């Protein structure tokens, strides 16, 4: 077989001012079609370093400019994007994805133990085991008390010998009397225990007869889920999976809930963006703004929320995470005023209304995305 000659490792030759990438005519330093540079030289280490530094500094310039407008000029990113001032900023969807993914990645590290879940899901199995041991110890106490009494009776039968026949005889009489008294007490205790056992058996028989006379309903109440979606097969499957989930140890339930939340919460929040934009569209229906503008506003607003949540994971700032409940609505109020105008009173009332409605909708969606996969998968 003929040996294949090596290719020429040099820039491709061009006849005239044309781009080597797309072939378009390029009379300047960059192609007007694909933006690739037209002056191509052999790559060197210095070229790689300079190219990396140039792109990194350019990206950092865009990033810091974007974050400044996002944090300190509520709503300005939306206005600039609509006005056509876009190249100076990181694009809205890219910014949202970068911040939200960073937040959930950090949350998986800092709260992977489920510290953000309710306390009743965080009961450790070792605590339950210790409680069970304590219960066993308490039930064993009466049983261990009885042998102690029998040991005392045995000691009563031990008669010390002094060598004096009269003293020894008197000691034997006292020991015999003590033994008779101990036997009488043991017989009385046995009779009392037997009477107590007979009473418990009678109570059990009475309870059994009452249950047979009035059988309990099949409804398990609040302790057992009873899904009713209108589809019998789906209801049966949900009930079965939920019962199997409840049978697991608490630590296993916590781990599964945390994994489901971290896996599906990003998708749930991304799907909530169009819903929030729809709420804005309904609220500002008379303004005639395009739905895409409301969606752009929703993306920028959620980028701010995730950035604040990301900052709240820092140790020093986590102490003030309760302030988010005030900062986020205030930011929404200022953003709506900057983008859509309106009076302070009307915008404040609309901010409160949309915040309440959206929190309820978000809670429902997050519960569905967190717990339904546990029952369906």
So what's the pLDDT on residue 218? 47
Domain range annotation of the chain: 11-40, 93-123+232-376, 134-215
Taking residue 198's Cβ as centre, other Cβ atoms within 10 Å add up to 10
Which string of b and e fits 270-281 if b means at least 16 CB within 10 Å?
eebbeebbebbb
Strand partners, 37: 30
| C-alpha–C-alpha distance, residues 70 and 307, integer Å | 10
Burial class (CB in 10 A: 0-12, 13-18, 19+), 204: exposed
pLDDT for 98 beyond 80: yes
Highest mean pLDDT among 51-60, 107-116, 215-224, 257-266: 257-266
| C-alpha–C-alpha distance, residues 190 and 247, integer Å | 41
Taking residue 171's Cβ as centre, other Cβ atoms within 10 Å add up to 16
- Summarised one tens digit per residue, pLDDT across range 318-364 is 666 677 778 999 999 999 999 998 899 999 999 999 999 998 988 88
pLDDT for 64 beyond 70: yes
| C-alpha–C-alpha distance, residues 257 and 248, integer Å | 12
pLDDT for 183 beyond 60: yes
Strand partners, 305: none
Q: Which residue has the higher pLDDT, 252 or 221?
A: 252
Q: Which residue has the higher pLDDT, 55 or 286?
A: 286
Mean pLDDT across 199-207: 77
Contacts of 18 (CB under 8 A, 6+ apart): 24, 25, 26
- Summarised one tens digit per residue, pLDDT across range 117-151 is 554 444 444 444 454 455 554 444 444 444 444 44
């Amino acid at each position: 077989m003929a040996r294949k000659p090596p290719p020429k490792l040099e820039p491709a030759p061009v006849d005239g001012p044309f781009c080597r990438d797309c072939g378009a005519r390029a009379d300047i330093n960059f192609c007007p079609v694909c933006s690739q540079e037209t002056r191509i030289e052999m790559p060197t280490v210095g070229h790689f370093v300079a190219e990396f530094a140039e792109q990194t500094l350019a990206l950092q310039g865009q990033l810091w400019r974007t974050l400044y407008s996002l944090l300190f000029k509520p709503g300005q990113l939306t206005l600039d994007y609509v006005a056509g001032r876009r190249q100076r900023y990181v694009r809205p969807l890219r910014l949202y994805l970068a911040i939200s993914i960073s937040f959930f990645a950090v949350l998986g590290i800092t709260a992977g133990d489920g510290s953000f879940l309710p306390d009743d899901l965080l009961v450790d199995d070792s605590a339950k085991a210790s409680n069970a041991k304590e219960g066993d110890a308490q039930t064993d106490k009466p049983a261990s008390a009885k042998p102690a009494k029998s040991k005392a009776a045995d000691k009563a039968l031990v008669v010390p010998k002094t060598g004096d026949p009269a003293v020894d005889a008197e000691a034997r009489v006292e020991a015999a009397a003590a033994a008779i008294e101990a036997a009488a007490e043991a017989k009385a205790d046995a009779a009392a225990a037997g009477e107590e056992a007979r009473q418990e058996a009678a109570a059990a028989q009475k309870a059994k007869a009452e249950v047979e006379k009035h059988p309990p309903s099949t409804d398990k109440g609040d302790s057992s889920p009873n899904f009713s979606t209108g589809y019998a097969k789906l209801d049966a499957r949900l009930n079965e999976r939920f019962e199997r989930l409840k049978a697991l140890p608490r630590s296993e339930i916590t781990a599964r809930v945390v994994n489901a939340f971290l896996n599906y919460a990003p998708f749930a929040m991304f799907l909530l963006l169009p819903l929030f934009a729809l709420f804005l569209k309904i609220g500002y229906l008379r303004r005639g703004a395009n739905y895409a503008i409301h969606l752009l506003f929703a993306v920028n607003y959620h980028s701010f929320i995730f950035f604040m949540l990301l900052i709240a994971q820092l140790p020093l700032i986590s102490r003030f995470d309760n302030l988010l409940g005030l900062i986020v609505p205030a930011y929404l109020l200022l953003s709506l005023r900057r983008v859509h105008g309106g009076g302070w009173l009307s915008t404040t009332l609309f901010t409160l209304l949309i915040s309440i409605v959206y929190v309820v909708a978000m809670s429902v969606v997050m519960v569905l995305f967190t717990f339904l996969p546990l029952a369906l998968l």
